[in-house]
Amino acid sequence: MNITNDKYLPGHVAILISNLIFGFNLPVSKMLLSLNHVTSFSLNFLRMVGGAALFWLVSLFVKGEKIARKDFLLLFLASFFGIQLNQISFLKGLSMTAPLDASIITTVGPILTMIIAAFYLKEPITWKKVIGVLIGASGAIILILSTNREGNASHLAGNLLCLLSSASYAFYLVVFRGLIGRYKPVTIMKWMFLFAAICTMPLTWPDVRTLPWREFSGGAMAQITYIVVGSTFLAYLLIPIGQRVLRPTVVSMYSYTQPLVAAIAAIAIGIDHFTWEKGLSGILVFLGVYVVTLSKSRAQVEQHGA
């Protein structure tokens, strides 16, 4: 796949920008969650409801599309795996662990995507894929075990929730690719976020009711604005643009940029620090992703052989 090809270039640019936004979102969300009155549930409510409102507002200025009746169930399931389970587990996990740990865990996403694609899309499992999966998985395991060895059970649970978030999103990228390609990005996201907002309200509303809005500083409001407008509305608007033209494994590959952005931002503002375990696990995960993405796709194997 030639990145400079006019057909694929917009997709690559869209996915790259969305992952850069997500990367900076890690420390921003962590800072907001460090406030005693902001919980992962209340922040999830703001993202889902705010995202739904913005997508429906923008849809008023975009030519409408009729959704096939059979696709509404698929949109709900896509919303569950791609947004609801993905975000609630991520935010809850992030509230219990360090931003750098969470960012490293998210880089397992491309590996999980390759595994799911092998079963669902019948993508071939080559030696490069197997080696890449083992290398990347070892990086995640080192990170999880190191936090547990330090006696920090909260970090362990947080890392596992971040891993669940990555698995949920990998499943979404592979299974719902066909659905995403049938409609415009705004059409897809306005329905997915509407379903997400409706489903999240019963669970998150009690936390939202206790938010002391008058006590929020200008910095906190700026962080909320970035999370809702940037890492929710804009980032999720860009993702379908890439999904329409790129394979799921290529889309997920760009998540390796997130730890770089998150690490630079988190260390710059003094809310995280490096350890040798984090460095080693990050190297192993990046190496695993690189090896996996070097493997051949199903079409390449059928055309040129293994």
Tens of pLDDT, residues 87-110 = 889 888 878 877 667 767 777 888
Cα maximum dimension of the chain: 64
CA 227/CA 89 separation, integer angstroms:
16
Q: Which of 44, 35, 36, 37 is nearest to 93 (CA)?
A: 44
74 or 94, higher pLDDT: 74
Two structure tokens written together for 29 = 């969300």
Q: pLDDT above 70 covers what percent of the chain?
A: 83
Domain ranges of the chain: 12-304
| Count of other CB atoms within 10 angstroms of residue 299 | 10
- At residue 126, the pLDDT reads 75
**Three-state secondary structure readout of the chain:** CCCCCCCCHHHHHHHHHHHHHHHHHHHHHHHHHCCCCCCHHHHHHHHHHHHHHHHHHHHCCCCCCCCCHHHHHHHHHHHHHHHHHHHHHHHHHHHHCCHHHHHHHHCCHHHHHHHHHHHHCCCCCCHHHHHHHHHHHHHHHHHHHHHHHCCCHHHHHHHHHHHHHHHHHHHHHHHCHHHHCCCCHHHHHHHHHHHHHHHHHHHHHHHHHCCCHHHCCHHHHHHHHHHHHHHHHHHHHHHHHHHCCCCHHHHHHHHHHHHHHHHHHHHHCCCCCCCHHHHHHHHHHHHHHHHHHHCCCHHHHHHHCC
Q: Is the pLDDT of residue 6 over 80?
A: no
What's the token pair of residue 155?
């970090």
Of 177, 117, 130, nearest in space to 297 by CA: 117
Instruction: Give me the pLDDT at residue 255, please.
Output: 78
For residues 29, 31, 36, 38, the Cα torsion angle rounded to the nearest 10 degrees is -20
pLDDT band at 32 (very low <50, low <70, confident <90, very high): confident
**218-225 and 9-33 helices cross at what angle (nearest 10)?**
150
Scan for tokens 């978030």, then name that residue: 165
Q: What is the pLDDT of residue 267?
A: 64
Each residue of 205-238: pLDDT tens digit? Answer: 999 998 888 888 898 899 999 999 999 999 999 9
Contact 278, 104 (CB under 8 A): yes
Q: What is residue 14's predicted lDDT score, i.e. its pLDDT?
A: 93
**pLDDT averaged over the chain?**
82
Q: Which carries the bigger pLDDT value, residue 3 or residue 98?
A: 98
CA distance 306 to 141: 30
Residue 2 has pLDDT above 50, yes or no: no
Q: Taking the complete model, does pTM exceed 0.85, yes or no? A: no
Token reading at 123: 């993508």
Q: What mean pLDDT do residues 237-257 have? A: 83
